Amino acid sequence: MNEHLNYKYLPSVEHDLDWGLTVNCVGTQEIQPGEAYPPAEHPLSYRFQPAAGRMLDEYQLIYCSNGAGFFRTETAGEMQVKAGDVMMLFPQERHTYHPDTNTGWKEYWIGFRGPNMEMRVKNGFFSTHHPLFHLPISMSYDIIHLFNQGIEAAQHMEKGYQQLLSGYVNMMLGYISSYDNASSQAEKEMAEDMHQALLFIHNNYHKDIRSEDVALAINWGYSRFRKIFLQQTGMTPYQYIQETRIKQSKFLLLNTTKPLKEIAYDVGFSNPDYFSTAFRRITGVSPLSFRKDDK
């Protein structure tokens, strides 16, 4: 076998589809500049001639981690592929793809089918009109890690491996969908800033932070930050900070015997009475009742 080729084609039973998703194949291969494509080692049902293309009876995600190439589908036409791009293949959709002979490429792929994916397509999350996704190179570690975990699980084929593999697919689809929803570069940068704001809150909610501190942490003016944050989360920054503190206090109430006063300080309230007031306003019950009702 080609030393740059590592893959597994997998058996599945109809019961696996009851989980919602079943994986048919997963692998990686590196194509050197000028090397013939695709390699001949793949099963006959997956081979194709790039000039003629093919149709599959499954979905596939194909991630280009380096190099460049070309991708064409019956619906979307021809597209250029670069490092960081994900090609999505749809069942019964004629397609073809190949690396640029001058650069080659390294690709990772996973093939799958199931009612969960059919529902996502039906509900408009994915479409044959938009089969190419441009992900930032900074995301490559996470994507490649998921593929490598999938390859390892497929090689061992231990009990429940199909459910494990479907989880990796769902994570990849989540990455693709969440990033692709920000269509312009400006929107992507704004989405990244909002993500950093949420991280700042989750890392500092136990301190005496204000909404203005969060805006300052991402170098935004407060008025604009508050407006965009509200649009993105449905809450003001202040509300989100309070919700985060109350959520953590619930965990402490249920999993520790700490007194309410100590919990209030632990989650960032400087006044235990205000903690109780905020807890009741958000949850509808007092902290003490919440702790007792769970017993």
102: left (phi over 0), alpha (psi -120 to 50) or beta: alpha
Question: Which tops the pLDDT comparison, 257 or 188?
Answer: 257
C-alpha separations of 36 from 60, 72, 104, 213 in Å: 22, 18, 10, 56
How much is the pTM?
0.64
**Structure-block tokens of residue 96:** 């073809």
Looking at domain 183-295, which of 3.40.50.11540, 3.40.50.620, 1.10.10.60, 1.10.10.10 is its CATH number?
Answer: 1.10.10.60
User: Who contacts 8 (Cβ-Cβ below 8 Å, separation ≥6)?
Assistant: 25, 26, 27, 151, 154, 155
pLDDT in tens, 82-128: 998 999 999 999 999 999 999 999 999 999 999 999 999 999 999 99
Question: Which tops the pLDDT comparison, 154 or 180?
Answer: 154
259: pLDDT strictly greater than 80: yes
Enclosing H/E stretch for 60: strand 59-73
Nearest CA to 23 out of 154, 111, 120, 150 is that of 111
**Structure-block tokens of residue 186:** 């400006």
Average pLDDT, the chain: 89
Q: What CATH number labels 5-180?
A: 2.60.120.280
Contact 228, 217 (CB under 8 A): no
Contact 208, 268 (CB under 8 A): yes
Confidence band, pLDDT 50/70/90 cuts, at residue 4: low
Lowest mean pLDDT among 139-148, 176-185, 196-205: 176-185
Domain ranges in the chain with CATH number 2.60.120.280: 5-180
pLDDT in tens, 57-78: 999 999 999 999 999 999 999 9
User: Who contacts 117 (Cβ-Cβ below 8 Å, separation ≥6)?
Assistant: 21, 59, 126, 173
Domain ranges in the chain with CATH number 1.10.10.60: 183-295
255: pLDDT strictly greater than 70: yes
